[in-house]
Structure 1
Amino acid sequence: MLDLDQGAFETLVTEVLDALPDEMVEGLDNVVFLVEDEHPDEDLLGIYEGVAITERGQYGFGELPDRIMVYRLPHLETTETLEELRAEVRTTLVHEIAHFYGLDDEQLHELGWA
């Protein structure tokens, strides 16, 4: 199991997020990315909390931001190298960003995101 503290893992997540293609991230509006150790109830690598852009009615001023959570401990437990960790974090980010856009796995593959 890899051993990265909270700060180092957050830095890695930021680096991976910054390396994602522009067309994937430029449409993200009012979304925050957060890192926590683990989900309190489920064994998850990440989760999107919000309303997909395809399901929004009126959306405007004063809305709380959607959240994409990335969970540190499950990522560290499922990878053995830094390269594997980066790849797994990328997969998690892409998957959760897809939920924001209302995309399913098939659409992710069609876009070349997965």
Structure 2
Amino acid sequence: MYRMTDEEFETAIAEALDAMPEQFMEALQNVAVVWEEEPSAYHLGYDEEWDAEPWCAEDEYHESGTPGERDAKDDAAAENAGGEREAEDGEEEFDDLLGLFDGLSIVERANGYDDDIPDVITVFKGPHERCFSSREEIVEEVGKTIIHELGHYFGLNEDQLAAMGYE
């Protein structure tokens, strides 16, 4: 596990955003990109506080949508989105989330949009550090996470993002 300073992590996010094609960045309307150390119970879609240590799914690591949408998923869909795994030999089940888009896609905004509160893309530092073993890997995965979450802003679903290589 590689630990980054907060400044290094912020720089990784800034570099990932700078690398995005200009037309994509110009199309963002009222979207904030922020980072947090760990996902909260809200981010994970739980009603109660989540105080367990998360785990890292190696191939499936993003989940998005509003907490209500995530709550509505059945177990199979949540597993496909990387949200849960089966416990092994007495382990508890944990969630690990690298990023989250919380808001309305531009497709959903077509039905009317109150832009007083920005939609938010949150990138989580702790899960990136646990899931990837070098600075280079973390920086690369931060970029993938941001692309994945921007994909949700542009109206892409999990299957479409997976088909493009952003599982």
Q: TM-score, normalised by structure 2?
A: 0.60
CA distance in 2, matches of 1:71, 1:49: 13
Unaligned ranges ≥5, structure 1: none
Deviation, 1:22, is 2.2
Unaligned ranges ≥5, structure 2: 45-95
1:52-72 Cα deviation digits (max 9, x unpaired): 110122225x52110000000
CA distance in 2, matches of 1:93, 1:9: 13
Instruction: Name 1:95's counterpart in structure 2.
Output: 148
CA distance in 2, matches of 1:25, 1:108: 18
Contact 1:49 1:68 in 2 (8 A): yes
Instruction: Name 2:15's counterpart in structure 1.
Output: 15
- What is the root-mean-square deviation of aligned Cα atoms in Å? 2.0
1:62-114 Cα deviation digits (max 9, x unpaired): 5211000000010011111222111111111011101111112454477x684
**Structure 2 SS opposite 1:11:** helix
Instruction: Name 1:73's counterpart in structure 2.
Output: 126
Contact 2:4 2:135 in 1 (8 A): no
Instruction: Name 1:3's counterpart in structure 2.
Output: 3
For this pair of structures, how many residues does the alignment match?
112
Contact 1:94 1:113 in 2 (8 A): no
Deviation, 1:11, is 1.4
Instruction: Name 2:27's counterpart in structure 1.
Output: 27
Q: TM-score, normalised by structure 1?
A: 0.85
> Is the radius of gyration larger for structure 1 or structure 2?
2
Structure number having the greater strand percentage: 1
Compare 1-10 and 67-76 and name the one that shifted more.
1-10
Structure number having the greater helix percentage: 1
The code of the aligned residue for 1:59 comes to Y
CA distance in 1, matches of 2:36, 2:106: 24
Runs of 4+ in 1 over 6 A off after TM superposition: none
The code of the aligned residue for 2:37 comes to D
The code of the aligned residue for 1:11 comes to T
- CA gap of 1:113–1:23, structure 2 versus 1, over 3 A, is farther
The code of the aligned residue for 2:19 comes to A
CA distance in 2, matches of 1:79, 1:53: 31
**Structure 1 SS opposite 2:14:** helix
